[in-house]
Amino acid sequence: MSAEAARVAWLGWLARERRASPLTVEAYGRDSAAFLGFLTRHLGGEPDLAALAGLQVSDFRAWLASEARGGAGNATRARHLAAVRGYFRFLARRMGVRNPRLALLSTPRAKKPLPKALSEADARAVAEDIGEISEVVAIQARDTALMALLYGSGLRIAEALALSVGDAPLPGKDDMLRVTGKGSKQRIVPVLPAVREAMAAWLRYHPTREAAAPLFTGARGQRLNPGVAQRQLRIFRQQNGLPDHATPHALRHSFATHLLAGGADLRAIQDLLGHASLSTTQRYTAVDTAQLLETFHRTHPRG
């Protein structure tokens, strides 16, 4: 049997037995056809099942290299490789054709997208005006305190919602807040006076002053669900024409990006964000450079 006939059988099996969506079958069919087209050129003739079983790691790498030369990025090549691996799994299970060398191939890693920060004006608007979307004064105070804390101290939404009343940064208390981040690692972050004032305003409406109680609560007094915070910001974003990436996590990105733009040391930002690796924090330098270039092209007379 030719490799092409086996490919057609595989696509039929995906559609009939695995009940894959038509779009998935179409995408896998396109990717696997391109792979066999490369092999035809690479091997000097249309491959059969024996040729597929005899492919070496160097042959698979040559295919991925050809994809890269054609402009395919890591994410695209990873998707194509996933399709080919599915094809070879079918060959092994249904036709007894095995090629263990494919398992030795590492999947191209897609580059992480750059963090998307808000402009200083948009971030300030969220932190100061988020309460305007609600008619309930207590919810206004709660949302303002939460968003002010996310932007003012660079917390993850989960870190902020894990705080208890006894952790609340209030006027007159120590200027630092102890936060428990990923992997139960603790760090100390500063809290701005404006954040302390917003927190004090929220605690005036808080249902309890018990130190162990959740700092941010929902309608029933339980710990606030992150989906509620995300929904509140989504409503504010839509009402005020903010970009689609205006989310609670974007406030953390904005915290880091604006500190970097203001001249903060990268190591200090790493400590404030609780990043285990400096390379994670260094992504913000690319954001800063991208924003600088955008401003340059937008404002320069010859831009």
What tens digit of pLDDT does each residue of 144-179 get? 999 999 999 999 999 999 999 999 988 877 788 999
159: left (phi over 0), alpha (psi -120 to 50) or beta: alpha
Nearest to 146 by CA among 259, 238, 226: 226
Average pLDDT over residues 278-287: 74
Residue 221: which pLDDT band, with cuts at 50, 70 and 90?
confident
Domain range 3-104, CATH architecture: Orthogonal Bundle (1.10)
pLDDT of residue 295: 54
pLDDT of residue 266: 84
Average pLDDT over residues 199-218: 94
- Using the predicted structure, report yes or no on whether residue 299 has a pLDDT greater than 90: no
Separation CA 235–CA 134 (nearest Å): 10
Separation CA 267–CA 290 (nearest Å): 20
- Using the predicted structure, report yes or no on whether residue 296 has a pLDDT greater than 60: no
Active site residues: 156, 182, 249, 252, 275, 284
pLDDT of residue 144: 97
Look at the domain 120-299 and name its fold: hpI Integrase; Chain A (1.10.443)
Residue 264: which pLDDT band, with cuts at 50, 70 and 90?
confident
pTM beyond 0.95: the answer is: no
Largest distance between two CA atoms of the chain: 80
- Count of all residues that appear for the chain in the document: 303
Which residues, in sequence order, are CB contacts of 216 under 8 Å at separation 6+?
142, 145, 146, 160, 161, 163, 223, 224, 229
**CATH 1.10.443.10-classified regions of the chain:** 120-299
Report whether 141 contacts 201 (CB < 8 A).
Answer: yes
- Using the predicted structure, report yes or no on whether residue 53 has a pLDDT greater than 90: yes
**CATH 1.10.150-classified regions of the chain:** 3-104
What tens digit of pLDDT does each residue of 104-130 get? 998 888 667 767 889 999 999 999 999
Average pLDDT over residues 262-287: 82
* Mean predicted lDDT score pLDDT of the chain: 90
- Using the predicted structure, report yes or no on whether residue 236 has a pLDDT greater than 90: yes
Separation CA 215–CA 149 (nearest Å): 12
Looking at the chain, the whole-number percentage of residues with pLDDT higher than 90 is 71
Average pLDDT over residues 178-192: 90
